[in-house]
Amino acid sequence: MISNTLQSVASDNNAGVHPRILQAMADANQADAIAYGDDPWTKALAAQFQALLGPDCRSFPVFLGTAANVLCLQAMTQPWEAVICAPSAHINRDECGAAEAVAGRKLLTTAPNPQGHGKIFPRDIEPLLGSRGFVHQVQPRVVSITQSTELGVCYSLDELRDLADFCKQHDLLLHMDGARLPNACAALGCSLKEMTADVGLDALTLGGTKNGMMFGEAVVVFRDDLAAALPFLRKQGMQLVSKMRYLSAQLLELYGTELWLENARHANAMAAMLAGRVAGVPGLEFVHPVQTNALFVRAPRPLLARLREEFFFYFWDDGASDRPVARWMTSWSTSQEAVQRFVYRLEAALQG
């Protein structure tokens, strides 16, 4: 038997699977069920998403977040069209060029804006629209944002509405990478529908893995033309799950109950607790506001090295700096005791 004693504040991906998700998979493991999504769980999930997000949405369960993003962007664009995103966007930094290599869609990044904390605004997008109509350059078609951003910060509802209005005025489509959308909803106290359909979103990657599932995300679209293309793109993109009931059962347990919100609220609360405990530690500096379940902390390298001997975490902006930035993340399974152990270890590391 493998023994795992890892103590991690590196990522919510490192957390285990919520017991209710495991039970939902076990409950789905009964008798036979028609493959490729024609099963009761997938049909119930489609109805549940329409209840949550509005009757115009269509949902497509897939294995992976990267695949969900690629499928969304592929459905929203033609081969000569481009996607505008922030430099820090997951599709730009952390998906190994999948949007460009698999979908063949050029990414156009906005100018760096450290004060935006991963957010982009109409004023950032406008300079990238000058090539429209020029046959020698790709044509901007989609704006892709992340909620909450890769730096743990949330767009307000007004900011989302402003982006959606700008996109409509300029014949652009708006995509949201919602890998941590539940955390943003929990932070802002709003519903999934208020943050997606109601602000004018065209397509959404809705997360599950980071919020207690074993695997799986959902592609959700709010336009008939996108919905018509996605069954074929999903199959061609190797994301049409044969035994889809096990994927849909997880999503149904998460989003068919309040579990998505309970898990996100807990993760956010543990991050707030950790931030409160380390806020006064000498030598530590918060690089971004702590709004969800991520802390980005600049600290002396020797201190972080000592702390990392016991708790695994990532250096976010390492380079050759003697004060690199570390990312500390909490999850649905982070306990108050785990936060306390981390703080104790940090205090010990300060003593050398």
What does the pLDDT look like over 101-122, one tens digit per residue? 999 999 999 999 989 999 999 9
| 187 within a domain of the structure (yes/no) | yes
Other Cβ atoms within 10 Å of 102 Cβ, number:
18
Identify whether residues 97 and 241 lie together within a single domain: yes
Identify whether residues 153 and 273 lie together within a single domain: no
Identify whether residues 177 and 205 lie together within a single domain: yes
Instruction: State which amino acid sits at residue 1.
Output: M
297: containing domain: 260-350
Last residue of a domain, one of 201, 231, 257: 257
| 340 within a domain of the structure (yes/no) | yes
| CATH number, residue 124 | 3.40.640.10
**What residues contact 273, with CB distance under 8 A and at least 6 apart?**
336, 339
3-state SS assignment for residue 218 = strand
Identify whether residues 183 and 124 lie together within a single domain: yes
Distances (CA, A) of 133 to 81, 105, 122: 11, 17, 20
Is the separation of the CB atoms in 208 and 40 below 8 Å? no
Identify whether residues 267 and 251 lie together within a single domain: no
CB-count exposure of residue 9 (10 Å: 0-12, 13-18, 19+): buried
First to last CA, the chain: 36
Long-range contacts of 237-243 (CB under 8 A, 24+ apart): 237/67, 237/70, 237/71, 237/74, 237/102, 238/67, 239/62, 239/63, 239/64, 239/67, 239/68, 239/71, 240/36, 240/37, 241/36, 241/37, 241/61, 241/62, 241/63, 242/35, 242/36, 243/33, 243/35
pLDDT for the residue 9: 95
Average the pLDDT over 267-293 and give the result: 96
**pLDDT reading at 177 higher than 90:** yes
Q: CA 128 to CA 121: how far, in whole Å?
A: 12
| 327 within a domain of the structure (yes/no) | yes
What pLDDT band is residue 351 in, cutting at 50, 70 and 90? confident
Q: CA 151 to CA 149: how far, in whole Å?
A: 5
Identify whether residues 41 and 121 lie together within a single domain: yes
What is the rounded average pLDDT for all residues in the chain? 96
**pLDDT reading at 319 higher than 70:** no
| 14 within a domain of the structure (yes/no) | no
Is the separation of the CB atoms in 254 and 260 below 8 Å? yes
Last residue of a domain, one of 232, 257, 282: 257
Q: How many domains does the chain have?
A: 2
**Percentage of the chain modeled with pLDDT above 70:** 99
Identify whether residues 135 and 77 lie together within a single domain: yes
Last residue of a domain, one of 257, 280, 314: 257
| 2 within a domain of the structure (yes/no) | no
Identify whether residues 192 and 71 lie together within a single domain: yes
| 55 within a domain of the structure (yes/no) | yes
Is the separation of the CB atoms in 162 and 143 below 8 Å? no
pLDDT for the residue 2: 75
Identify whether residues 325 and 288 lie together within a single domain: yes
pLDDT of 52-95, one tens digit each? 999 999 999 999 999 999 999 999 999 999 999 999 999 999 99
| 131 within a domain of the structure (yes/no) | yes
pLDDT of 249-278, one tens digit each? 999 999 999 999 999 999 999 999 999 999
Identify whether residues 285 and 223 lie together within a single domain: no
Which tokens go with 88?
């820090």
| 13 within a domain of the structure (yes/no) | no
| CATH number, residue 282 | 3.90.1150.10
pLDDT of 180-205, one tens digit each? 999 999 999 999 999 999 999 999 99
Identify whether residues 305 and 316 lie together within a single domain: yes
Is the separation of the CB atoms in 181 and 157 below 8 Å? no
Identify whether residues 243 and 316 lie together within a single domain: no
Question: In residues, how long is the chain?
Answer: 352
- Residue 208 DSSP label: -
